[in-house]
Amino acid sequence: MQKKSLKIAVSKEIGKVSAKCYIPGKPKCIMTLAHGAGAGMDHIFMETLATRLAEEGIATLRFNFPFTENKKGRPDSPAVAHQAIKAAIAKAHELFPKLPLFVAGKSFGGRMSSQLLSADPPGTVHGLIFYGFPLHQPGNPSVDRAEHLKQVKVPMLFLQGTRDALATIDLIEKVSKPLKKAKLVKLEGADHSFKAGKKDIMSELVAATKEWIAKQSS
């Protein structure tokens, strides 16, 4: 596996953000991987996920949002987050123009990615993967945050823990079922951080991702 560190220019006003690309020997696809609201691209979950995906032939380009890059505590506005994701998608396509391109994100990163694809979708994207879609605030079940998903045209994969406080599993089922190109994979006992006691949830995430990408790429 080859590892590259790089900078991605988001815009003249926003500047650049750091990024890391993990490239297997014979990559099957390239995936942008956006982090959540509480940690940057170097969080152990993001690092481990990128490493394990590379072992399965999936190249990843993960990147910091501007708020993380500039060490600010509060997440970026959707407009800024969308620009960062769009720039990462463009960079991934520039680096690997012949590979199928997928967009993915953990929590906030996934939701911002889906908002971008619902409103201003790059034509290069083959599919969208959510590592825990943050459907609502803890203790306040709602489906309002999912309304824009109806406008997403690419296939979607929801990877959700059954104990996720930010997305009760019955509501995620309600949201994903009517979406024609969506698949829901439930991780039994996992919370929003994909922790479930001694269960190896990471292996389940990687296996489900690999299987779904193979079907979209065939």
218 pLDDT more than 80:
no
Residue 73: per-residue pLDDT = 83
Fold for domain 2-217?
Answer: Rossmann fold (3.40.50)
Partnered with residue 158 across adjacent β-strands are 130, 184
How far apart, in whole angstroms, are the C-alpha atoms of residue 174 and residue 172? 5
CB 103 within 8 A of CB 127: yes
Residue 81: per-residue pLDDT = 97
**39-62 pLDDT tens trace:** 999 999 999 999 999 999 999 999
The pLDDT-based confidence of 202 (bands split at 50, 70, 90) is very high
The pLDDT-based confidence of 116 (bands split at 50, 70, 90) is very high
What is the overall mean pLDDT for the chain? 95
What is the arithmetic mean of pLDDT over 128-143? 92
What's the token pair of residue 194? 């994909």
Residue 122: per-residue pLDDT = 86
Residue 168: per-residue pLDDT = 93
Q: Any idea where the domains of the chain sit in the sequence?
A: 2-217
DSSP per-residue string spanning 133-196: ---S-TT----GGGGGGGG--S-EEEEEETT-TTS-HHHHHHHHTT-TTEEEEEETT--TT---
